[in-house]
Amino acid sequence: MKLYGTSLSPYTGRVILVLRAKGSGLPVLPWPLQGPDREAFLAINPQGKIPFLDDDGLHLPESAVIADYLDTVLPGPSLWPAEPRARAREALLARFIDVSIAPGVTNYTRALLAGAPNADVVDETWAQFAAGLEALEYYRDRSGPWLNGVSFGHSDAALLPFLYGISRFADLTAIGAALASLTDFQAYWDRATRVPFVAELLAEAQVRADLVYGEGGPLHEGLNRLKTAVVEGRADPSVAIAGRFPWFRSWRR
């Protein structure tokens, strides 16, 4: 069994968290970017997406599919609740993350790679993020420390890497203070980051983030241009979220 990806990718991060929650030490292999190895990789993964799992000829892209497969085939308790209603809630929470939070953050990163997000991309990102948080707030089970109650589940594995990704831009906007004002989510994040296998993933992602966003990294210039646009008032990522959460208005710069 071979898993390709990087801990900095929130999609790969989702799969890594499932692996570690199951007690698996399966390593994450770098995916080839050029040369013959790249051609061989694309022969079994035509979209070239990560994460990508090769399990003795079974080729799986898509993080949600990989996470569910690994949860099924690896030993240990399932991350899906056994009770039907709880399982449905777990699936719903994970779905909201996939359709509301993930696309915006992904588009934001692509815009950084292209140079710097324009105001429309910035506003759309935060609007999607706000919609996702709004749904999670409503549907989550507050009877325990995780999104769906007492046990770590697929929705937590999906959300935590994206919260880490968003936190990298918190200093550009009021989003950091706004999230801190959401007592439940702040407590959720604080608890989660003290769990050893979660903290381990975030530490690995931070090392890679320093390489990508730091001096000489591929996203360094785009991030600097975004900071300049925010300072000059040409882009305000907090605009879109303010209309959805009344408590956010008082935190806007």
User: pLDDT tens across 157-174, in order?
Assistant: 999 998 887 766 555 444
Q: What SS3 class is residue 155?
A: helix
The per-residue pLDDT for range 74-96, each reduced to its tens digit, is 999 999 999 999 999 999 999 98
- Lowest-pLDDT range of 80-84, 194-198, 221-225: 221-225
User: Of all residues in the chain, what percent carry a pLDDT higher than 70?
Assistant: 68
- Give the three-state DSSP class for 55: strand
pLDDT of residue 148: 95
Residue 122 has pLDDT above 90, yes or no: no
Nearest to residue 112, comparing CAs of 248, 224, 238, 235? Answer: 224
Asked whether the predicted pLDDT for residue 123 surpasses 50, the reply is yes
**What average pLDDT does this structure show over 53-75?**
97
pLDDT, residue 243, reads 41
Q: Is the peptide bond before 51 cis (omega within 30 degrees of 0)?
A: yes
- Full set of structural domains in the chain with CATH: 2-73 (3.40.30.10), 84-251 (1.20.1050.10)
